[in-house]
Amino acid sequence: MYLSLLLLIPLLIFAGWASAKVNSAYTAFDRVPNRACMTGYDTAVRLMRNRGVYDIRVERVNGKLTDHYHPTKKQVNLSMSTFGSASVAAVAVAAHEVGHVMQKKEGYFPYKVRTMLVPLTNIGSALSIPLVLIGILLDVFLISVPYGAWCVYAGIALFGLSTLFALVTLPVELNASKRAKKMLLEDGILTAEEVPGASKVLSAAALTYVASLLISLFYFLRFALFFLSFLRHD
């Protein structure tokens, strides 16, 4: 118990620091207008049109840093803080979302894996704990048959899908940021002098995914060790 807390507290501190850092970086460079006077909306539209993408709409959604690409609805959704802002931060975030559009268009493998994992992760989240609990009961009452242990292992594996999803998400997000910086330079939306500012915003955002992965891994290991301890070891 105490060991778990000792491990979890630093992870939560890191996650809080990462969240504060991305907000700080965005706020700082949201005060810096880009020389091309392009808003987040303008940036997303130009980057996609220049790359032959015409079937994705750019929409505005409520909130700050709630930007995301919705492939099913074919929408790049930009937050209120990004959509109409002509700052270095806004165009960096908008370009990052277009990076995801290009990943899907080009069949970027980690993106395809992450997309495939979404429904599986949702199923795993719903079934993992019931399956583990059933397994423990079977293990207790069906002494001569290892059905219970199999159920527990399957439940742990299903729970682990969320950690696998977080693991795959990290390279997807890093690649989208790499694409964003390249596209912004290629299309003349940011100058070479402005790109470091965009890079700081995107790098800070990447830290939140690192934190998410570490916390997910912690909870997976804790979950696995806790329920494995209930199995008989004959």
Give the start-to-end residue ranges of the domains of the chain: 2-33+87-228
**Mind listing the pLDDT tens digit for each residue in 101-119?**
999 999 999 999 999 999 9
Q: At what angle do helices 195-228 and 147-159 cross, to 10 degrees?
A: 170
Residue 23 tokens read as 């907000």
Q: pLDDT band at residue 231, thresholds of 50, 70 and 90?
A: confident
Is 149 or 29 the better-scoring residue by pLDDT?
A: 29
Q: List the structure tokens of 6.
A: 């000792």
Looking at residue 232, its pLDDT comes to 64
pLDDT in tens, 50-86: 999 999 999 999 999 999 999 999 999 999 999 999 9
**Positions marked active-site:** 97
pLDDT at 33: 97
Residues 185 and 192: their CA atoms lie apart, in Å, by: 7
Nearest C-alpha neighbor of 104 from the set 145, 57, 56: 56
pLDDT for 95 beyond 90: yes
- % pLDDT > 90, the chain: 74
Q: Is 79 helix (H, G, I), strand (E, B) or coil?
A: strand
